[in-house]
Amino acid sequence: MGIVDSVREYFTMRKFMKTPLAQALRHHTQTYFYGNTALTGFSEEAKERLIGGMTQQLGAAFEAENPIIAIREGLVGFTIQYARIQVLCLTEEEKADAFYAGSPHISGELYKSIDDAAPHVEEVDQHRWEQEVGGQELIDFCNVRCAIYLYYMNAFNLARMELGDKTDPDWFRPLVEAQLVYEENTIRDKMGLPLTVGSMIDALAFSVMFNKVADGATNPYYEWCSTWPELHLGERSRR
């Protein structure tokens, strides 16, 4: 990189750091890594690596041909990774405090069978095998991984809101709820446990929410509720 490019990059970064998005991301990062979260105890090196990863991926999305779609795709990807692990460690008490507390399709019970459920989520199963852990240690691992994915998810969510990609009611929370429902029932099906939805066909319906988001639907939540009015997803579709 030549001196002209270096100077241009410097001033571009200085300009960005004054934007509302940069300030929101700074507060977001401060909260996750220096507040009372599962990430607070990470080493400075680990924190810098995760923060750098978020910045790099978000920057790449903004430079894409269609930034809104790129940010949606990143948001969907992190939501899937988060939900797949969150359903393994979510407790009934934690669900009661969550925005999806009213969902009949998210149990908050799989943590009781974490050792049996782990083999059905590769990231968790690999950690279980490598570290030879189970029970509470495996739940603790899941909670940390969820905190990391939440950090990335919410950073991308801040970015898409800044780009004006929002609806009323907003589709982000229904997206997260839908993915939690789908992931829990996928795992339950593999374990031979009763489903929290009528069938895997119904579970697959919930997975369509992330397709609608990634495909660029103007109002993914409206489109989903219009297609499956008989299913529960968010406050607008509660029976």
Q: Check whether 5 has a pLDDT greater than 80.
A: no
- Model confidence pLDDT, tens digit, residues 130-184: 999 999 999 999 999 999 999 999 999 999 998 999 999 999 999 999 999 999 9
Rounded to the nearest 5°, which phi and psi values hold at 93? -65, -40
Which pTM does this prediction carry? 0.91
Two structure tokens written together for 68: 């809104």
Q: How many C-beta neighbours within 10 Å does residue 237 have?
A: 16
Instruction: Confirm if 160 and 72 have CB atoms less than 8 A apart.
Output: yes
The residues near 206 (Cβ < 8 Å, ≥ 6 apart) are 105, 178, 179, 181, 182, 185, 197, 231, 233
Q: How many structural domains compose the chain? A: 1
**Which residue segment(s) compose the domain that 23 sits in?**
3-237
DSSP codes of every residue in 173-223: HHHHHHHHHHHHHHHHHHHTPPPSSS-HHHHHHHHHHHHHHHTT-SSHHHH
The residues near 106 (Cβ < 8 Å, ≥ 6 apart) are 87, 90, 95, 100, 177, 180, 181, 184, 196
pLDDT band at residue 222 under the 50/70/90 scheme: very high
Q: Check whether 2 has a pLDDT greater than 70.
A: no
pLDDT band at residue 1 under the 50/70/90 scheme: very low
CA dihedral 188, 190, 193, 197 (to 10 degrees): 50
Q: Per-residue pLDDT averaged across 73-96, rounded?
A: 98
Q: How many C-beta neighbours within 10 Å does residue 69 have?
A: 16
pLDDT band at residue 33 under the 50/70/90 scheme: very high
Rounded to the nearest 5°, which phi and psi values hold at 130? -70, -40
Q: How far apart are CA 165 and CA 162, in angstroms?
A: 7
Q: How far apart are CA 234 and CA 70, in angstroms?
A: 25
pLDDT at 16: 52
Instruction: Confirm if 225 and 236 have CB atoms less than 8 A apart.
Output: yes
Q: Check whether 11 has a pLDDT greater than 90.
A: no
pLDDT at 236: 74
pLDDT at 18: 63
Instruction: Confirm if 208 and 224 have CB atoms less than 8 A apart.
Output: yes
Q: Where are the alpha helices (DSSP H) in the chain?
A: 3-16, 20-34, 44-62, 67-89, 92-96, 114-117, 122-131, 135-162, 172-191, 200-214, 220-227
pLDDT at 53: 93
Q: Check whether 239 has a pLDDT greater than 50.
A: no
Over the chain, what is the mean pLDDT? 90
pLDDT band at residue 22 under the 50/70/90 scheme: confident
CA 90 remoteness from chain centre: 14
